[in-house]
């Protein structure tokens, strides 16, 4: 799209693109692409304003660096009771979970790591397959003396979560999986054809030079196009995460998360062939303006006990766009 294109013209072009992606009744993958496109339509006519801010974790949470699987992860721990491990994705860090952690800590031991190479965790040169990162999380559980845990995951956290649940099913009591597909599973090959997912293959030394110093601009694209209402992702939130992704090696390692998707797809297909469908209770939450009930469709390819849920009035960034509904859905499921 040429520079200087008017907002009305950009809106019209996105609308036409969305109409071309009108799904058939039997093609959920195309439905997902259309939902992503429609989220982008909203973004072209809305501007960022102050809304909710990144909240701190409760004062009784502690933080520590946990050595695990050849690296160290920054981990927040608080509360008392059955364990719940919360895993973030791209565009966020474990900080996204603070409001949920405050609620769950009433009756859970809540564990919130930053994934390998992200947030305040160390930045190893390799190891970004989700199969390997599952070992990172198992190491954290071992270091904290946790034999089992419930799992709550979003975005790339879903991919680490599946590798964890597939390899250590006996240690995951139940799982809430939120708004992102699994590489190599179900409709993955259709989903990744969406033009809005070009960033899956955006990486390399020149790409890093292009993004360096412009991390905020790059991340704004995700918050704007994959949200239902970009105004709900406020200036303080954007600045908070942009600063974390501007730290040395952070954007390189974020790109490495995506670079591993091809191997992740092969690993996931092998997990499914070797262990079959997961049997623990799973709540598949899709954002209303993103994956919707398609999240449960995808999870039923790898799990037999899946409940579908919708986060209303939200695009992909559920903890920023509708934290109250997300907390209610997650906490009700974990407290069953």
pLDDT digits (tens, 9 = 90+) for 126-136: 999 999 999 99
- pLDDT at residue number 175: 98
Fill in the DSSP letter of residue 85: E
Q: What is the C-alpha to C-alpha distance for residues 239 and 317, in angstroms, rounded to an integer?
A: 16
Second-level CATH architecture of 1-336 = 3-Layer(aba) Sandwich (3.40)
pLDDT given for residue 201 in this prediction:
76
Instruction: Please give the pLDDT value at position 52.
Output: 57
Chain position carrying tokens 């704007």: 224
Average pLDDT over residues 34-57: 48
Q: How far apart are CA 118 and CA 80, in angstroms?
A: 26
Instruction: Pick the range with the lowest mean pLDDT from 28-32, 69-73, 81-85, 189-193.
Output: 28-32
Measured distance CA(281)–CA(173) in Å, rounded: 8
| pLDDT one-digit tens code per residue, 269-290 | 999 999 999 999 999 999 999 9
The confidence band for 141, taking pLDDT boundaries of 50, 70 and 90, is very high
Q: Assess contact for 136 and 68: CB atoms under 8 A.
A: yes
Chain-wide mean pLDDT for the chain?
A: 87
Residue range 34-38: average pLDDT? 38
Domain residue ranges in the chain:
1-336
Q: Which of 143-147, 200-204, 305-309 has the lowest mean pLDDT?
A: 200-204
């Amino acid at each position: 799209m040429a520079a200087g294109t008017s907002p009305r013209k950009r809106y019209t072009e996105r609308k036409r693109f969305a109409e071309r992606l009108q799904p058939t009744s039997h093609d959920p993958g195309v439905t997902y692409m259309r939902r992503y496109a429609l989220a982008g339509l909203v973004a072209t006519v809305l501007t960022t304003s102050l809304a909710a801010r990144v909240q701190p974790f409760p004062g009784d949470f502690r933080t520590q660096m946990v050595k695990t699987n050849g690296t160290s992860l920054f981990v927040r721990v608080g509360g008392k009771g059955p364990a719940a491990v919360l895993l973030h994705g791209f565009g966020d860090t474990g900080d996204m979970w603070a409001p949920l952690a405050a609620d769950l800590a009433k009756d859970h031991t809540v564990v919130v790591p930053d994934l390998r190479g992200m947030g305040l965790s160390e930045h190893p040169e390799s190891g970004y397959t989700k199969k390997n990162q599952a070992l990172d999380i198992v190491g954290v559980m071992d270091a904290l003396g946790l034999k089992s845990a419930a799992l709550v995951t979003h975005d790339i956290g879903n991919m680490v979560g599946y590798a964890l649940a597939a390899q250590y099913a006996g240690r995951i009591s139940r799982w809430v999986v939120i708004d992102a597909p699994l590489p190599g599973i179900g409709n993955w090959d259709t989903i990744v054809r969406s033009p809005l997912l070009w960033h899956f293959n955006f990486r390399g030394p020149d790409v890093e030079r292009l993004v360096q110093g412009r991390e905020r601009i790059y991340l704004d694209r995700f918050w704007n196009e994959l949200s239902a209402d970009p105004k709900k992702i406020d200036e303080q939130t954007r600045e908070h995460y942009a600063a974390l992704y501007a730290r040395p090696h952070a954007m390189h390692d974020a790109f490495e998360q995506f670079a591993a998707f091809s191997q992740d797809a092969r690993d996931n297909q092998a997990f499914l062939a070797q262990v079959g469908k997961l049997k623990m209770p799973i709540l598949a939450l899709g954002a209303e303006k993103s994956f919707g009930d398609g999240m449960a469709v995808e999870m039923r390819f790898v799990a037999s006990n899946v409940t579908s849920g919708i986060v209303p009035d939200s695009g992909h960034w559920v903890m920023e766009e509708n934290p109250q509904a997300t907390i209610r859905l997650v906490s009700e499921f974990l407290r069953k």
